[in-house]
Amino acid sequence: MKRKLRDAINIIMSSEDNKLDIRNVKYVPRWIVLCIDIFLLCLSLALTIYILSDLHINYVAKVGIVFQVAIVLGVNLLFMLVFKTYAGLIRHSSYMDALKIILSSVSTYLVLKIIDFIARWVLGERFFLNASLILYLFFSFTFLFIFRLAVKQAYEYVKIIRRSETFDNAIILGSGENAISVAAALDIEHPQRFKIKGFIVNDKINKRLRIVGKPVYKFDENIILRLKESDISAVIIAEDKLSTKEKFKLVEDCLENDIKVYNSPLVIDWSDTTSVTNQVKSLEIDDILEREPIVLHNEEKRQQLTDKTVMVTGGAGSIGSEIVRQIIKYNPKLILVLDQAETPLHNLQLELEEEYSSLNIKFLICDVANRNRLSIFFERYKIDAIYHAAAYKHVPLMEDNSPEAIITNIYGTKNLADLAVFYNVSHFVMVSTDKAVNPSNVMGASKRAAEMYVQSLNFQAAKTNSRSTTKFITTRFGNVLGSNGSVVPLFKAQIEKGGPITITHPDIIRYFMTISEACQLVLEAGAMGKGGEIFIFDMGEPVKIMNLAIKMIKLAGFVPFKDIDIKITGLRPGEKLYEELLSDSSKTLPTHHKKIMVSKDIIEDYDFVEKQINKIIKAALRLKEKDVVAKLKSLVPEFISKNSEFESLDTQNSKFFTDENEKKTVSAKN
């Protein structure tokens, strides 16, 4: 008991400046509330006895006053325990708490009347007068209720007078139950960041409509003007009934007018252990991707994956791990998650074994360049489909370590593809990149060479009527928001450190998509592919990285170039201003989905491609960097180096032509 009392005192007295602040009291222990209630009951009894004695009413009959007090307090305390009148948070008392006190008081009155009736029947004398019971219950209810009301009002008063100076007047996007619940939760938040001033709806409304006493604004072209007139400094998205275009415009307009934007999940999804502060967060950049999300079909994927053995290489990476999570939805017989990175694979194993303990998942440590170990897995598990996401992808790093890029991206792909043919794997889906198109760096060129090899294998099987049934399919897309190689995690980390954000060039542009969408595309390609295709996703408009950085700074609640600076560092080795999804010689064909196209690249003869790739691999194994890159340029003639020591391997004419072409393209896009 002493320890509990000491803890309660510490809770009450703790604050940043060691001063008493009722807002810092998370909760008062129930036994303390119960003790206070018992004290108030005793006070009610004393006041009742005093009043009746002063009126010269014979309060005591056959029993003494001590026994009477014991009976009254005992019965009242019993019903307080039954109805748990002491259990609620005092500062958040509501009509439910008042109802509990009323029920306790009425129950106490009825039981005491029954006791009085029995006493009068057995002893011939009354225990209690009606006046005494009514007075006591009136005083007890009043004191208990006033105590709770006083604490609640004191808390609200202290909360108002000591409110943070960074307090935001906020408006909530939405008007349904979730929006109202968010408003209520934020209203009692401590320290309070928002004062909810109203709601925004996208429906026809009555101008006099109010929700929980707050005005409702109609979403239209003048909404930002009205928000500024009402001194609104934050918008909280609680119910997203706007279209992608409307939402994007609202966010853009808010950021342009220094209005912060926050996102709130459904209240039913809020974690019980997480505070309101952690639930309502600043809007993420992928929440406002300027295009409609892709919607894909599931039936074909279900036929391909359900009750099948599927291997995912690079399975511990951001793309590979998401492919694994999406494959799980189709109930495969076995998933083989292969990666050479031990710690990320171990972390993924712990996550999946906890969440999907009933599924058959094996985690394999292996380098895709280790053909002998790979062959053991193919022999042992009878693989039905492969999703090949293993690759080195950081452009500057691979420019400085070109042999490793070749060994993993080309040799590793060749090993997997050859084994897939030998063991009659049904589908081989390769994850490629837009950097493989007109590559300007070793990484992109190595991925293009890998694309050419798997396509030529598919072409060779069709040409020679081979018994091989493996369908080789390639998916090609741009940067993935939140992936290990994306600028978004880098920018977030730089913002958290207070800046500066580093950008290689003010005019650099990139295509973006979310990890989930990228992996849906990979699965969809595996299901619809007939073999030899390169599937390309309509990624919308390219994003200028400078604009992306400015937007992320504003979303984080800072002022660009003032709170967080942006520093230009210069293009890195192998980097170019823009990426394409198609080469100049490629053509596209539509598919059943309007946002997925098929590229018909020129497919070289398998014998030629294999011979060239073997030369590149041998040079890489000998660690002859310039020889490696020269042979890679021979296989991929559109590979023109940028900002790299390998520029000397290109002819002056092709270099001049590509530079001028890039300048024209960037100018057109801007």
The pLDDT assigned to 146 comes to 74
In terms of phi and psi (left: phi > 0; alpha: psi -120 to 50; beta: otherwise), the region of 472 is beta
The pLDDT assigned to 9 comes to 44
The pLDDT assigned to 576 comes to 66
> What does the block give as tokens for 147?
């105590």
* Among candidate residues 480, 386, 482, 484, the one with its CA nearest the CA of residue 435: 480
CA distance 168 to 233: 6
Q: Are 29 and 4 in contact (CB under 8 A)?
A: yes
Is the N-terminal amide bond of 500 cis, ω within 30° of 0? yes
Q: Which residues contact 234 (CB under 8 A, 6 or more apart)?
A: 168, 169, 170, 171, 194, 259, 260, 261, 262
CA distance 221 to 650: 53
The pLDDT assigned to 428 comes to 95
The pLDDT assigned to 86 comes to 64
CA distance 482 to 563: 24
Q: DSSP code of 411?
A: I
Please give the full DSSP string across 295-308, using - where no structure is assigned.
----HHHHHHHTT-
Q: Which residues contact 470 (CB under 8 A, 6 or more apart)?
A: 420, 421, 424, 425, 426, 427, 428, 457, 458, 461, 531
The pLDDT assigned to 545 comes to 85
Give the CA radius of gyration of the chain. 36
> What does the block give as tokens for 485?
């190689």
Counting as low any pLDDT under 70, the low residues of the chain are 1-30, 54-65, 86-96, 123-131, 152-167, 188-191, 204-208, 239-242, 244, 265-298, 462, 464-467, 482-485, 538-540, 574, 576, 578-595, 600-602, 604, 651-670
Catalytic residue among 435, 471, 544, 642: 435
**435 given a catalytic annotation:** yes
Q: Environment class of residue 553 by beta-carbon count within 10 Å: exposed (0-12), middle (13-18) or buried (19+)?
A: buried
SS in 3 state form for 619-670?
HHHCCCHHHHHHHHHHHCCCCCCCCCHHHHHCCHHHHHHHHHHHHHHHHHHC
CA distance 534 to 351: 32
Burial code (b: 16+ CB inside 10 Å, e: under 16) for 103-128 equals ebbebbbebbeeebeebeeeeeeebb
The pLDDT assigned to 162 comes to 53
CA distance 558 to 375: 53
User: What mean pLDDT, rounded, does the chain reach?
Assistant: 77
Is the N-terminal amide bond of 191 cis, ω within 30° of 0? yes
Which residue shows structure tokens 């239209």?
220
* Among candidate residues 479, 452, 418, the one with its CA nearest the CA of residue 586: 452
Q: Are 441 and 575 in contact (CB under 8 A)?
A: yes
Q: Residue 476: count other Cβ atoms within 10 Å of its Cβ.
A: 26
Helix (H) or strand (E) holding 75: helix 65-83
pTM for the predicted model, two decimal places: 0.65
